[in-house]
Amino acid sequence: MSLVPAAIRTLPLGMLATLMAIVLFGLATLYSAAGGSISPWASNQGLRFVLLSGLMFALSRISVARWMDIAYPLYGVTLVLLLIVELFGKIGMGAQRWIDLGFIRLQPSEFMKIAVVLSLAKFFHRLPAIYVSTPSVLVAPIALFAVPAALVMLQPDLGTAMMISMASVLVIFLAGVGLRWFLTAGAALLAALPVAWSMLHDYQKNRVLVFMDPEGDPLGTGYHITQSKIAIGSGGLFGKGFLDGTQSHLAYLPEAHTDFIFATMAEEWGVMGGLFVVLTYGYLIRWGWRLGVAGDTIFTRLTACGLAFTIFLYVSINLAMVMGLAPVVGIPLPLMSYGGSAMMTVLILLGILMAIHRENVGGSRLNGTGSFAV
């Protein structure tokens, strides 16, 4: 008989230790970005993490079967909230993305990143395998992600719309939909690029043009990415030292505590600090993906892999953005960038992954059969 309580025995201790390492490193970077002060960023961020960690552990106690039951209602409520944003949303930095409740600003598009994965996983869990690639059947899963992605684009929020779409496409692919449909969709997307370009806002077009030629306007539209690359490059192998960064401390680097926090960190900690960040996030993503690979039902497999891929999208898009490998689309580095939206999303999805882990370890699993057809 084990002396360790079951609630402790089923915790993913490696994942939790890695999570703490990322958050603490982020708090140290925010402390430095504020000029060696715990306020306002590090203190607020630490408090958010404590509160949201409690939510993560609470959600981890919900059964996987229950998560499947609430997938569609959660999606429906989130879709309604997106519609409310269009009608009454709070405008900030040129975008209408929030519902202002007074004590908190709610960003429904963050919830949709989770709701769409759960809904697609439930859809394919219940769909007989012989119908997976049927054209008429594919209309429903495409609509499940295309409608919210279109609403998010109207806010406008290109980065979040991309994340919703890319995670959804991965779930559909893992569900076993034939490769020919993805090739056909890809060809149609390429043909529609001129139309999509004409629908972009001027600032979105400028971001793409700056990505292609950041030196063309280094003091204007290319300023963000130019300063970010200077900060990262000046860090060298081991960095300038904690609290010794110049780009962020002298206010050359815009958004040094939010979207470009990786550049702030890399200047002080260098390549070694960057490797630490990549490896720790890599561990989280690998942990979630392995839960999906080891799952014994379609729902758990698609949910775990879809949520793990969502973390991957956050990290990869942000790092590519700050290093000049992708246009600036306003995706933060979750758990490190200052702000509660991305942190809330990642801790909620980690809570769901912990629920899957708990039932796998405890031997209580959702009834169902099915396998990936990749």
Residue from 164, 170, 157, 39 nearest 92 by CA: 157
Confidence of residue 197 (pLDDT cuts 50, 70, 90): low
Minimal CA–CA distance to 214: which of 201, 230, 237? 230
Q: Can you give the pTM of this predicted structure?
A: 0.89
Q: Assess whether pLDDT exceeds 60 at residue 371.
A: no
- In the β-sheet with 105-106, what is the strand arrangement from edge to edge? 90-92, 95-100, 105-106
Whole-number pLDDT of residue 373: 35
CB 351 within 8 A of CB 12: no
Range in 6-10, 201-205, 333-337 with the lowest mean pLDDT: 201-205
Contact between residue 26 and residue 336 where contact means Cβ atoms under 8 Å apart: yes
Number of Cβ atoms within 10 Å of the Cβ of 10: 16
Q: Where are the beta strands (DSSP E) in 85-197?
A: 90-92, 95-100, 105-106
Give the tens place of pLDDT for each residue, 305-318. Answer: 999 999 999 999 99
CA distance 227 to 219: 10
The string of pLDDT tens digits covering residues 94-130 is 556 677 665 456 788 999 999 999 999 999 999 998 8
| pLDDT score for 344 | 93
